[in-house]
Amino acid sequence: MSGAKILKSGIDGFSLPALSFEAGPACIGGVVVIQEIFGLTAHIAEMCAAFVKAGYDVLAPGLFERVEASFHTEMSPEGMQKGLAAVRACSWDQVASDVQAAIDALPKPVYVTGFCYGGAISWLAAGRCTGVSAVSCFYGRLIAGMLDEEPKAPVMLHYGARDHSIPMESVECVRAAAPNSPLYLYDAGHGFCRDGSSDFDAAARDLAMARTIDWFARWR
């Protein structure tokens, strides 16, 4: 079952909408899925559905709703600029609080994952949020600049070996800073999980998602 849920952010009491998916009576926990800069797109809903199929209740909070109600932008140069402006308008403190609201609303144990911007926010959640059993970060470009946000929950990381937006030097910095965190490179570009994009790679997506679901099960 899917729908919408309103969360209350602890930082300012903001009523935060989230995509909501329920696995039903056989639920084994919860997953917070964090958006890319484009908002709560069909791609994010698709990723949520994959975790529901694995047995989890899922929430995907709309982190840019303070910027614009029902925030959404396209994968175009103009859309990228709109999304990046939204990133700059949202502080780490606000985003961590919003993610915490989603964590608190899910059945335990709770895991966090995200894509691109969401990959970086998943890293942030591992360091700042409570009640997180494990995290899986997909191609989070900003993580290399967030290494002082030391994870307190187990973290797995996924990057595309042909991702021109994330230099391999940045990936190696992350690897060195988190030597106990599994870090996987895929023969793919950026956004390889996003069906319809030029970098979509079904084999890489399926392998990374399978590894993520196994990783979450390890920390149940």
pLDDT tens digits, one per residue of 7-16: 999 999 999 9
Q: Domain holding 54: CATH number?
A: 3.40.50.1820
Contact 35, 118 (CB under 8 A): yes
For residue 219, what pLDDT band results from cuts at 50, 70 and 90? very high
Q: Residue 3's pLDDT is what?
A: 84
Task: Please report, as a single letter, which amino acid is at residue 163.
Answer: D
* 215 sits in which H/E element: helix 202-218
User: What pTM was computed for the model?
Assistant: 0.98
Contact 58, 52 (CB under 8 A): yes
Strand order in the sheet with 56-61: 2-8, 15-21, 56-61, 29-34, 110-115, 132-138, 155-160, 183-186
The range of the structural domain enclosing residue 188 comes to 2-218
For residue 1, what pLDDT band results from cuts at 50, 70 and 90? low
pLDDT tens digits, one per residue of 176-192: 999 999 999 999 999 99
Report the half-sphere exposure of 119 (CA within 13 A, side-chain side): 25
The conformation of residue 39, written as its DSSP 8-state character, comes to B
State what percent of residues in the chain have pLDDT above 90.
99
> What mean pLDDT is reported for the chain?
97
The count of other CB atoms within 10 Å of the CB of residue 196 is 10
As to burial, measured by CB atoms within 10 angstroms (0-12 exposed, 13-18 middle, 19+ buried), residue 94 is middle
Distance from the Cα of residue 192 to its chain's centroid: 14
Rounded to an integer, the average pLDDT of 154-168 is: 97
Contact 20, 40 (CB under 8 A): no
For residue 120, what pLDDT band results from cuts at 50, 70 and 90? very high
For residue 211, what pLDDT band results from cuts at 50, 70 and 90? very high
Question: What total of structural domains would you count in the chain?
Answer: 1
In sequence order, the 6+-apart residues with CB closer than 8 A to the CB of 89 are: 64, 66, 67
Rounded to an integer, the average pLDDT of 57-85 is: 97
Alpha helix stretches (DSSP H) within 37-112: 42-53, 77-89, 92-104
Rounded to an integer, the average pLDDT of 84-110 is: 98
Q: Residue 41's pLDDT is what?
A: 97
Is the pLDDT score of 61 beyond 80?
A: yes
Torsion of CA 53, 131, 125, 152, to 10 degrees: -120
Strands 155-160 and 29-34, by their bridges, are unpaired
Rounded to an integer, the average pLDDT of 56-83 is: 97
> For the CA atoms of the chain, what is the radius of gyration?
16
State what percent of residues in the chain have pLDDT above 70.
99
Rounded to whole angstroms, the Cα distance separating 144 from 67 reads 25
Is the pLDDT score of 82 beyond 60?
A: yes
